[in-house]
């Protein structure tokens, strides 16, 4: 049946995959937006909430070596469909069966496996079906759709949470993922990857990737980037609600979720601009400049929580844009450095190490809040955002050191 489908043009394929990316991420921000409500209902500590926020990325990290590594020898479309099935089960399961810390952990872990089966495999669908000139143009747009998917998840979760029980919000996310599965199955044709038997490497052997120092440098940078990005996204709604209360500003959770969605949406043009500048100028210098600005902004943000709410919003929006400005540039550096026959393994390594940071970020913030002054104080949030911004600082130092060694 799939063989009868017409081959999509490059632009049509890109549009389909960007829409699929948005739909597949419908459940991405569900827990972050509902964090305060579920924490109160289940009597969760900040550390436990951080674990639930982080386990999503642990699921991603656990599954991505296998799922993305296989795209060198298995059609990435099949992996993508499997990932969507995991997402549907994760969303419906959370809605129907989650009743506390451990059950929430299990279903959010499965949701993370879903992201592992869709995000980078979607990029591989493009890689396998587009020529090099189209591939380099399409890549930043596809990667930027991640920001659009994140924004949509924040916005519609906040919208739904104000009028529906939290379980219905998760059910709607599962329904969106099911629609996505039907679209990918019926619109994108099957196409096996071109695996050359002369490649002296097992498709799940990642050792050659670590001998590619340029790729490893950008992977390291991406690890710090995702640590900072997902720590911020997991806790931004809770922080903005605190900041609104600290400045005596009356806002609803729906409004705050809308601001979080807007911040995520800002990441799309920021990521595209960063990718454009990295192609026009030296990639390393562009990324380094953005990371330094991100460290400075993030280190300030938590300490201004009691200032007028509009000031907090403006700095939070700037911080969100800066975090995303190096995203496509870093992934583009990895793709450009990947050797022929190792692209799937390189992207798998990129995802494993990168999203390990995504797992640690939300957890570290929760630990800092519990160990420090708490989530109801300026000092607590100041320490939390310093811990968040540390991701870019560590990434910057490691990336520049590895690239310098490569030159040497």
Per residue in 40-74, pLDDT (tens digit) is 999 999 899 989 988 998 898 889 888 987 887 88
pLDDT at residue 4 greater than cutoff 60: no
CA atoms within 13 A on the CB side of 251: 25
d(CA 188, CA 16): 8
Distance from the Cα of residue 280 to its chain's centroid:
25
37-72 b/e (C-beta count within 10 Å ≥ 16 → b): ebbeebebebebbbbbbbbbbbbbbbbbbebbbbbb
Q: Residue 331, class by beta-carbon neighbours within 10 Å (0-12 exposed, 13-18 middle, 19+ buried)? A: buried
Pick the CATH number of 8-189+208-407 from 1.20.1250.20, 3.30.390.50, 3.55.40.10, 1.10.510.10: 1.20.1250.20
Q: Report the percent of the chain where pLDDT is more than 70.
A: 94
pLDDT at residue 160 greater than cutoff 60: yes
Confidence of residue 6 (pLDDT cuts 50, 70, 90): low
- DSSP assignment of 44-98 equals --HHHHHHHHHHHHHHHHHHHHHHHHGGGTS-HHHHHHHHHHHHHHHHHHHHHH-
pTM of the model: 0.76
Task: Say what the pLDDT of residue 73 is.
Answer: 81
Q: What residues contact residue 378 under an 8 Å CB cut-off, 6+ apart?
A: 246, 302, 303, 305, 306
Q: Is 313 helix (H, G, I), strand (E, B) or coil?
A: helix
Confidence of residue 3 (pLDDT cuts 50, 70, 90): very low
d(CA 346, CA 398): 18
């Amino acid at each position: 049946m799939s063989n009868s489908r017409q081959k999509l043009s490059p632009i049509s394929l890109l549009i389909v995959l960007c829409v699929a990316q948005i739909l597949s991420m419908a459940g991405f921000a569900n827990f972050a937006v509902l964090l305060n409500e579920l924490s109160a209902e289940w009597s969760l500590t900040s550390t436990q909430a951080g674990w639930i926020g982080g386990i999503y990325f642990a699921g991603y990290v656990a599954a991505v070596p296998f799922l993305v590594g296989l795209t060198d020898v298995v059609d990435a479309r099949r992996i993508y469909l499997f990932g969507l099935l995991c997402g549907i089960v994760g969303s419906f399961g959370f809605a129907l069966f989650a009743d506390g810390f451990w059950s929430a952990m299990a279903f959010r872990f499965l949701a993370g496996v879903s992201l592992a089966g869709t995000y980078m495999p979607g990029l591989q669908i493009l890689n396998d079906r587009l020529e090099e000139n189209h591939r380099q143009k399409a890549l930043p747009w596809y990667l930027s759709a991640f920001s659009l998917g994140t924004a949509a998840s924040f916005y519609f979760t906040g919208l739904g949470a104000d009028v529906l029980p939290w379980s219905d919000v998760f059910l709607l996310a599962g329904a969106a993922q099911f629609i996505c599965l039907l679209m990918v199955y019926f619109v994108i044709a099957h196409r096996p990857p071109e695996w050359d038997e002369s490649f002296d490497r097992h498709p799940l052997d990642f050792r050659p990737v670590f001998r590619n120092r340029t790729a490893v440098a950008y992977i390291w940078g991406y690890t710090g980037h995702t640590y900072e990005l997902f720590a911020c996204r997991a806790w931004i709604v809770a922080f903005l609600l605190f900041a609104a209360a600290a400045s005596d500003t009356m806002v609803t959770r729906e409004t705050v979720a809308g601001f979080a969605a807007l911040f995520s949406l800002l990441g799309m043009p920021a990521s595209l601009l960063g990718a454009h500048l990295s192609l026009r100028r030296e990639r390393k210098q562009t990324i380094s400049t953005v990371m330094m600005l991100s460290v400075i902004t993030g280190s300030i943000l938590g300490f201004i929580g009691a200032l007028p709410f509009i000031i907090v919003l403006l700095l939070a929006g700037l911080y969100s844009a800066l975090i995303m400005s190096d995203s496509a540039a870093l992934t583009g550096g990895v793709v450009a450095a990947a050797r022929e026959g190792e692209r799937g393994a390189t992207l798998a390594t990129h995802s494993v190490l990168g999203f390990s940071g995504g797992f640690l970020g939300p957890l570290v913030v929760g630990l800092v809040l519990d160990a420090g002054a708490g989530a109801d104080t300026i000092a607590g949030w100041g320490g939390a955002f310093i811990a968040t911004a540390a991701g870019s600082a560590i990434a910057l130092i490691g990336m520049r050191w590895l690239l310098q060694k490569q030159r040497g």
